[in-house]
A and B are shown apart, each in its own frame.
Chain A
Amino acid sequence: MDNSQQLKEAFSKSLELDIKDITDDLAYSVNKQWDSIRHMNLVAEIEDLFDIMMDTEDIIDMSSFAKTKEILGKYDVKFDT
C-alpha cells in the first residue's frame, strides 16, 4: 500500500469518515468530523504510521488533506499523487 493510501486510511480512522470522503480538499473544521479533538488523534495516528515527530507549527498548519501531504514532505514522507 502506498503512502497516499495509508494516509487516507489514517484520516478515515481518526476522523471517523468513510475512505471515499478523504479527498485533497477535505478541510479542518469545514468538515465537522475534523474537529480539534479528532485532530489530536489524527496527528498521533500519522506520527505512528510514518514514525515521525512533527513540530507544533506543522500540526497547526495541517488544515487540509492536501496540506497534510505537503507538510509530511518536510519529514521525508513522499507522495506520488
Chain B
Amino acid sequence: MDFYKNIFEASPYSLNRIDKEQFILPLLHHLTLLHYEQCKPYSRLLDSLYDIHHTQNFASLSEVPYFPVQLFKTGKMQSVRDEEVVKTLTSSATTSQQVSKIALDKETSMLQTKALVSIITSFIGPKRLPMIILDSKSIFKDRAKFSARGAGILGFSNFGRDHFYALDENMDLDLAGLKSYIEKYSDQTIFIFGFTFMIWQYFYQVLKSSDEYLLLNNAILLHGGGWKKLQENAVTNTVFKDALSDRSGIQKVYNYYGMVEQTGSIFMECDHGFFHAPNFSDILIRDYRDWSCLPDKESGVLQTLSVLPKSYPGHSLLTEDLGTIQGVDSCCCGRKGTYFSIEGRIPTAEIRGCSDTHAQDALISNQVKLI
C-alpha cells in the first residue's frame, strides 16, 4: 500500500488528533479486513464478536476490534504463509508459562525497523553514537533462539557504533572496560541501552556497593522492559533517575513502553515524564467494568493500536497494563498526539482489598467473554 510509502518521512510526532485519526483509521480498517481474510483464528474470533462485513470504515478508534494481547500465547496468529516468515519473535510470559510467538514477514519487519529509526533518531539525532549496552553478549550465543531481549538489543544497536557490552556472561559488570570506553569517548555523546531491571540490578547496584562513580554526564540512556520487579522494591521512575544520576552522572534517561507484539511502534518518555504515541500508533484507555473508553485523566486498561503489523493481527491489542491519558497535542515538550502515563500491571496474583478483588473478577469474566 502506498500509504506506507511516506509514513516515516515526517517527524514521528507531527500529527495532531484530527490528522492522525484521518491517517490511521482507514489503515486500521484495512488491516482488520486483511487479517480477517488471512488469519483463520482471528476471523473466527471476530465473527463471534463483531459484524465486520457491514463496516465500511470505523467512525472512531474506539470501534476498531481489539483482543487481549495474551491471544498470541495461544493459537497461530499469523496472516502470511509460513514461507514468507523471515523472523519469529518470542517473549517470555509473565503470567503463564506460554510464550507469545510473533511471525514477521519482510515487509512488517522493515516497517518495524523504520518506525524505530524514526522515533529514536528524533531523540538522539541521525548520527550513530558510541554505544554501551548494559547487557551480556552471551545472549546471542544461540542464534536460533531470538528472544525478545536479544531482538531488542539488536534493534537498538542500529543507533550505535563500536558497541561495548558492559556485562560478561556471568552478568558481572566489566568496570575496568567500561571506564576505558568512557575515557575513549570522553568528548562525545555516548548512547546507552539496557533493560530497566538489568540496569538497576547489574549496573547501579554494583556501582553503589563498590562505591564507584562514573563520568557519563554527556550520555543518553534509553531503557525499557517494564517495572514489575522494581515496583516490588519501591523503585519508581524518579528514584531510578536520581540514583543513576548520582552514581553515573547520566542526566538524560528515557524510558520506553513497548511490547514484542507491537515491536517498532514504541512509546517514548519525553523530558516531562510522559509516554508519547507516534504518528503510526495510538492508545485508548478502557474501563475494565464495561470496556467503554475512559476520558483523559482516568486510569484504566491500556489498548494499543498500531498500523505496522501486517503479517499478524496485532494492530489493536488490549494490554495487561493500567494507564492514563494525560492529554492530546498539548504536552509541554511540543510533541503532537496522545501522551500518557503507566500505572503498572493489572493486579493479578497479589489482590487483597475488596475493591481490587472486584476489579479482578470483572476483568476475568470480561476477558473470558472476549476469548
Chain A binding surface, main DSSP class:
helix
Q: Is the CB of A57 within 8 A of B126?
A: yes
Considering only residues 38-58 of chain A, those with a C-beta below 8 Å from chain B are 40, 43-44, 47, 53-57
Do A37 and B154 contact each other (CB < 8 Å), given the known contacts A44-B162, A57-B117?
yes
A1 lies within 8 A of chain B by Cβ: no
Contacts of B114 in A (CB 8 A): 60
Does B86 contact A29, Cβ atoms closer than 8 Å? yes
Residues of B within 8 A of A56 (CB): 117, 120-121, 126-128, 158-159
Give the size of the chain B interface in residues (CB under 8 angstroms). 21
Give the chain A neighbours of B121 by CB distance below 8 A: 56-57
Interface centre among B117, B121, B140, B159 (most CB of A within 10 A): B117
Q: Considering residues A29, A40, A56, A57, which has the most beta carbons from chain B within 10 angstroms of its beta carbon?
A: A56
* A60 CB contacts on chain B under 8 angstroms: 113-114, 117, 158
Interface centre among A36, A37, A44 (most CB of B within 10 A): A36
Q: Which residues of B contact A (CB under 8 A)?
A: 86-87, 106, 109, 113-114, 117, 120-121, 126-128, 140, 143, 154, 157-159, 161-163
25 chain-A/chain-B pairs, Cβ below 8 angstroms: A29-B87, A29-B109, A37-B140, A37-B154, A40-B157, A40-B163, A43-B161, A44-B162, A47-B161, A53-B127, A55-B126, A55-B127, A56-B117, A56-B120, A56-B121, A56-B127, A56-B128, A56-B158, A56-B159, A57-B117, A57-B126, A59-B158, A60-B114, A60-B117, A60-B158
Chain A positions within 8 Å of B, measured between CB atoms, are: 29, 35-37, 40, 43-44, 47, 53-57, 59-60
